[in-house]
Amino acid sequence: MRYILLNPGPVSISDGVRKAAVATDLCHREPEYYVLQDRIRSGLLDVYNCSPDEWTSVLLGGSGTTALEAMLSSLLPRQARLLVVENGVYGERISRIAGIHNIEFSAVQHEWTDPIDFERVEEALSAGDFTHVAAVHHETTTGRLNDMGRLAELCEQAGAGLLLDTVSSFGAENIPFGSPALIACAATANKCLHGIPGLCFVLSRKTSLETAAEPPRSLYLHLPLWVTAQDQQGTPFTPPVNSLLALDKALAELRNQGGWKARHAHYSSLAGQVRRALSRQGVKPLLEPGDSSCVLNAYCLPSGKTYAEIHDGLKQRGFIIYAGQGRLVSEMFRISTMGDISRYDMERLLAALSSVLFQDAWQPSMGDKIGQ
C-alpha cells in the first residue's frame, strides 16, 4: 500500500522525484555534481525572485532544524542581542538554540494557540536595544501562519535584522523578501518543495554573511565555510547527493506547475475541501481558517474519539495524519495537504475521514467536487 503522508513533512513525492533520487550514482567531487549544485542554488533563489546580487543560497545536509541552527549560530555576530518571538514548539526551539550557543537573547512568549501580540513585540524592541529578531513563519504546532510582513515592519522601524524559520512555508506562502529587515531564512527540501529528507538550506543576504560570527560557533554549521566552498564549485563535507538529485527535479516540477503562488492556491483548495467535510460533521478547526497556513490545519478531536482511533483508522485506509504536541496531544489532530496528492487521493481521503470519524458513506457536496 502506498501511504499518502498528511503530516507536515516529509511529504508524498511524485514518481519523477522518486526516480530522480536514485537515477544515478554521483560523486560529489566530480564536475557533474557541481553543475547540479549550482543549478539548485540558483533555482532556490528563483522561487521568490531573489536577486543573486543581494542574496545567496547555502546547501546543507540535514533536517530543517539543521538549517535553522546554522542560520542562527552563523549570522548572529558575537555581540548580537536577539529577540525571539515564540507561539509554539518551533519558536521555543529558536530560544533553545540561542541558549546552547550562548547567544544573548530574550523571548516574547505567547500561548501556543495565540497570535503574535505585536504591541508586546514593539514594546520589547523599544526597550531592549536588540540587534536581531527571530521568529517562525508557519508554526506547525497549531498550523498558525504568523504575520511576518508586520513583524518585518517593526524590525525596520527598530533597525533590527530579521531571521525567519520558513521550514514549513518556503515554496507555498508569501515571504517578505522585499523588506530590508529580512536578512535570512532557513528551510528544507522535503516540505513545500516536495523533495526528500536529508537536504536543507539557508537563503541569506550576502552582507549578513560578511558579518557572520567570528570565531565560528560551530564547524559543520558555519555558513561562511559552506558558501565559500560552494561559490568555488566545491563542498567542505560530503553532501546528501541523492537529496540534491531529487530537489533538482522537484524544483523543475514547481516551475512547471506555476511556482509558489500556484502551489499556495492548490494547497488552499485541498485544505478547504478537508475543512468543509469535517465541519459538516461538527469537527471544529483549532484556529479560524484565516489564521491557518495553506499548508496545514489543526482540528479539535471530536467527542468520543481518540487520536489513536482516528490515526489508526486512516492508516488502514492509506493515510498518515499527525497528532497534537505537548499539552495539545489530547485535544487536536493535524492534517497537512502538502505533497503529491492527486484528485483521486482526495476523493479517497474524504471518504476515509467520513468512514473513520462517523461510520457513514461519504457523498460529496457541490462545494467538494474535486477540482472546485
pLDDT in tens, 7-58: 999 999 999 999 999 999 999 999 999 999 999 999 999 999 999 999 999 9
Which one, of 270, 269, 367, 285, lies nearest residue 332 by Cα? Answer: 285
Rounded to whole angstroms, the Cα distance separating 9 from 189 reads: 10
Q: Is the confidence at residue 369, as pLDDT, over 80?
A: no
CATH class, 15-256 region: alpha beta
Quote the pLDDT of residue 327.
Answer: 87
Give 305-329 pLDDT, tens digit per residue.
999 999 999 999 999 999 999 989 9
- Give the pLDDT mean for 322-347: 94
- Give the pLDDT mean for 94-103: 98
| 330 and 314 Cβ atoms separated by less than 8 Å | no
Quote the pLDDT of residue 315.
Answer: 97
Q: Does domain 258-368 have CATH number 3.10.129.10?
A: no
Quote the pLDDT of residue 361.
Answer: 45
Give 267-284 pLDDT, tens digit per residue.
999 999 999 999 988 899
Fold agreement (15-256, 258-368): no
Give φ, ψ of 49 to 5 degrees: 55, 45
Buried b (16+ CB within 10 A) or exposed e, 237-253: eebbbbbbbbbbbbbeb
- Give the pLDDT mean for 90-114: 98
Quote the pLDDT of residue 70.
Answer: 98
Give 132-191 pLDDT, tens digit per residue.
999 999 999 999 999 999 999 999 999 999 999 999 999 999 999 999 999 999 999 999
Q: Is the confidence at residue 246, as pLDDT, over 50?
A: yes
Q: How confident is the model at residue 301 (pLDDT cuts 50, 70, 90)?
A: very high
Q: How confident is the model at residue 366 (pLDDT cuts 50, 70, 90)?
A: very low
- Give the pLDDT mean for 197-226: 98
Q: Is the confidence at residue 208, as pLDDT, over 90?
A: yes
Q: How confident is the model at residue 370 (pLDDT cuts 50, 70, 90)?
A: very low
Buried b (16+ CB within 10 A) or exposed e, 356-371: bbbeeebebeeebeee
Q: Which three cell numbers stand for residue 3?
A: 501511504
First-residue to last-residue Cα distance in the chain = 28
Q: What is the mean pLDDT of the chain?
A: 95
Which one, of 141, 149, 160, lies nearest residue 8 by Cα? Answer: 141
> Could you give the dihedral angle defined by the CA atoms of residues 142, 335, 46 and 148, in that order, rounded to the nearest 10 degrees?
-20
Q: How confident is the model at residue 358 (pLDDT cuts 50, 70, 90)?
A: confident
Q: Residues for the chain: how many in total?
A: 372
Domain residue extents for the chain = 15-256, 258-368
| 69 and 226 Cβ atoms separated by less than 8 Å | no
Residue 330: is it exposed, middle or buried by C-beta count within 10 angstroms (0-12/13-18/19+)?
Answer: exposed
Sign, Cα dihedral of 23, 26, 31, 36:
positive
Rounded to whole angstroms, the Cα distance separating 14 from 154 reads: 40
User: Beta strands of the chain (E only): which ranges?
Assistant: 4-5, 55-61, 81-86, 104-109, 132-136, 138-139, 144-145, 161-165, 182-188, 199-205, 296-300, 319-320, 322-323, 332-336
